[in-house]
């Protein structure tokens, strides 16, 4: 329901747009509660470093979507004759959401729902894309308006991702397909675009479905309010059908309260052993809550805890180690020498007995007891490499929602500083979806996959970016990285590390190494829309000057 008690008009994928956004005065008051940081921010702004000041302001006050689309930038409609001239048949769903495709007609069909207008230039853009014979389905971006007088909401979609699409239907309502590629001319009513697209991907492979980063349509919203339950029921049917096609009929399809679909895949019996690897040097104030959460608030039955002891000296920490080992609750592995996060984890991983490795920072605490089950069920899939979780920082804000390449100067944690309970743009914070990388603060991977790429690169990325590099090397051999939004933990980021001139120099060298090794990928994350501002927190603001009718240049 909306604040006034009226039915929420937003479809599940767009409910992020209903989240409250503090006004400017509220943000200034929030910043004033930390006067030293606010003063530093002001001095940064006065010195002319506007971008750095904006980044610090967001970190201080929190991130919220600022996505209103200027009314003077709404495109005009495409004349119907332009579609016909491009060899495209326009088909609109009936009032009940049913779509029927005739077996004969133009090679390309453009499906839509009532209330949508096709944007000027869409015909030419669609026809040009389908000149590639390997393309079988195409979707673009849209502008939606919840009311006749309200602001326009830009919906900038990610690249095609079957996992994400099963979780959240980010596609509708306009999609173009090759008529000959459609298996079922009568798709499931209420989720026709979703059903047809997943069917094409099942038949021709995921590369046959592509995203065109351009506004193809604009109009009123569909799928919210009274129609939400019918839409959810249709999505459940589509996802169950797609799983059956993929030979995963034994997977349970679960609808969460927020409309996100979770797939509960069958797990092997007995449950495979997971080795939970936690590096530390003293800091019992962090370590004890971490270990106890792994012991008491993690309901996976087959687990071993390995503590990488990097030279702890505090008597209380050493006594805690002895108590854990006496109880058989953990093994403590001595890892002396200068702190090298990658090398320490590699060393202990070599001694682990588990089929899976779970790398956990000592400043991370489990919250929901099923977090490990959710991550393991995805990591066991043959095509998946590293798997990560949603991490909430000490202020209750998003610390990690997947890693996005090419933003914030190099890489950024997705939705950084957004409220911890936020849905995320197009449900991204709650979905299970492909990402470029995930943080090693909580990363699960099968042991044999980890060693297949020789683990973390300890010589090049001792402290920073070893997780990004690991994920990209796994991706390079065909193993996708997944973010699982339903697995939630708390992370007091870098609470156990202290800045120094040496660490700053080392960080700069690792930045350069990442650029040299993965430079082309860092230009534009394949899972992130180029229409967003690349300089700030992800999904926060649109790229300045972008009209949505032409390609946005990579960073």
pLDDT of residue 37: 80
Q: Which residue shows structure tokens 């970016």?
A: 465
With respect to CATH, is domain 78-219 assigned 1.10.630.10?
no
Round to whole Å and give the CA distance between 50 and 41: 10
In 315-406, DSSP assigns E strands to 331-334, 356-360, 364-366, 384-392, 398-400, 403-405
Reference 355, options 445, 256, 419; nearest CA is 445
| Contact criterion met (CB below 8 Å) for 229 and 191 | no
* pLDDT of residue 363 exceeding 90: yes
Q: pLDDT class for 114, splitting at 50, 70, 90?
A: confident
Percent of the chain with pLDDT over 70: 96
Say which DSSP state 428 is in.
T
pLDDT of residue 485: 97
Percent of the chain with pLDDT over 90: 73
Q: pLDDT class for 281, splitting at 50, 70, 90?
A: very high
The pTM assigned to this predicted structure is 0.94
Q: pLDDT tens digits for 33-71?
A: 888 887 777 788 778 787 777 888 888 888 999 998 988
272-493+500-521 CATH fold = Spore Coat Polysaccharide Biosynthesis Protein SpsA; Chain A (3.90.550)
pLDDT of residue 4: 42
Q: pLDDT class for 179, splitting at 50, 70, 90?
A: very high
User: For the chain, what are the domain ranges?
Assistant: 10-59, 78-219, 272-493+500-521
* pLDDT of residue 172 exceeding 90: no
Environment class of 20 (CB within 10 Å of its CB; exposed 0-12, middle 13-18, buried 19+): exposed
Strand 209-220 to 137-145 pairing: parallel
Q: pLDDT class for 282, splitting at 50, 70, 90?
A: very high
* pLDDT of residue 24 exceeding 90: no
Round to whole Å and give the CA distance between 478 and 150: 44
Q: pLDDT tens digits for 395-430?
A: 999 999 999 999 888 999 999 999 999 999 999 999
Contacts of 224 (CB under 8 A, 6+ apart): 7, 8, 9, 10, 11, 12, 14
Q: pLDDT tens digits for 534-548?
A: 888 899 999 988 899
Round to whole Å and give the CA distance between 487 and 311: 31
pLDDT of residue 222: 63
Residue 278 CA: distances (Å) to CA of 125, 258, 293, 332, 360: 51, 33, 12, 10, 5
* pLDDT of residue 2 exceeding 60: no
Which two structure tokens, joined as six digits, stand for 156? 């900038």
pLDDT of residue 224: 59
């Amino acid at each position: 329901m909306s604040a006034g008690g009226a039915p929420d008009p937003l479809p599940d994928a767009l409910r992020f747009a209903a989240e409250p956004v503090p006004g400017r005065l509220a943000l200034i008051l929030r910043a004033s509660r930390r006067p030293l940081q606010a003063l530093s921010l002001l001095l940064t702004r006065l010195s002319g470093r506007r971008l750095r000041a904006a980044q610090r302001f967001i970190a201080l006050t929190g991130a919220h979507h600022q996505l209103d689309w200027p009314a003077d930038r709404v495109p005009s409609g495409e004349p119907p004759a332009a579609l016909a001239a491009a060899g495209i048949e326009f088909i609109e769903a009936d009032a009940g959401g049913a779509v029927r495709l005739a077996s004969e007609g133009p090679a390309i069909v453009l499906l839509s729902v009532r209330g949508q207008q096709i944007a000027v230039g869409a015909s030419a853009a669609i026809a040009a894309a389908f000149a590639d014979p390997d393309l079988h389905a195409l979707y673009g971006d849209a502008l939606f308006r919840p009311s006749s007088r309200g602001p326009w909401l830009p919906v900038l979609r990610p690249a095609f991702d079957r996992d994400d699409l099963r979780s959240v239907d980010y596609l509708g309502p306009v999609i173009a397909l090759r008529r000959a590629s459609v298996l079922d001319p009568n798709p499931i009513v209420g989720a026709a675009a979703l059903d047809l697209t997943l069917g094409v991907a099942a038949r021709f492979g995921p590369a046959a479905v592509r995203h065109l980063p351009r506004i193809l349509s604009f109009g009123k919203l569909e799928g919210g309010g009274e129609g939400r339950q019918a839409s959810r029921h249709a999505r459940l049917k589509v996802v169950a059908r797609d799983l059956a096609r993929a030979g995963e009929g034994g997977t349970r399809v679960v609808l969460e309260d927020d409309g996100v679909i979770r797939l509960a895949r069958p797990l092997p019996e007995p449950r495979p052993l997971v080795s939970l690897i936690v590096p530390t040097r003293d800091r019992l104030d962090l370590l004890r809550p971490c270990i106890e959460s792994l012991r008491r608030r993690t309901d996976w039955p087959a687990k071993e805890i390995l503590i990488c002891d990097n030279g702890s000296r505090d008597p209380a920490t050493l006594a805690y180690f002895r108590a854990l080992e006496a109880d058989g609750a953990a093994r403590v592995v001595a890892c002396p020498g200068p702190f090298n996060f990658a090398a320490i984890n590699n060393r202990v991983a070599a001694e682990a007995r588990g089929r899976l490795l779970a790398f956990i920072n000592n400043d991370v605490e489990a919250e929901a007891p099923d977090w490990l089950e959710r991550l393991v069920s995805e990591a066991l899939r043959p095509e998946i490499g590293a798997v990560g979780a949603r991490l909430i920082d000490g202020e209750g804000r998003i610390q990690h929602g997947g890693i996005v390449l090419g933003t914030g100067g190099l890489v950024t944690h997705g939705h950084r500083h957004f409220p911890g309970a936020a849905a995320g743009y197009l449900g991204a914070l709650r979905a299970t979806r492909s990402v470029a990388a995930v943080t090693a603060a909580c990363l699960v991977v099968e042991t044999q996959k980890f060693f297949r790429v020789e683990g973390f690169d300890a010589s090049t990325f001792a402290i920073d970016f070893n997780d990004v590099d690991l994920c990209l090397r796994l991706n390079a051999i065909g193993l996708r990285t997944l973010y699982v939004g339903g697995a939630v933990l708390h992370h007091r980021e870098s609470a156990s590390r202290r800045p120094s001139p040496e660490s700053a120099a080392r960080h700069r060298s690792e930045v350069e190494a990442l650029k040299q090794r993965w430079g082309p990928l860092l230009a534009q994350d394949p899972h992130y829309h180029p229409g967003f501002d690349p300089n700030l927190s992800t999904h926060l603001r649109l790229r300045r000057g972008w009209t949505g009718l032409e390609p946005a240049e990579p960073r």
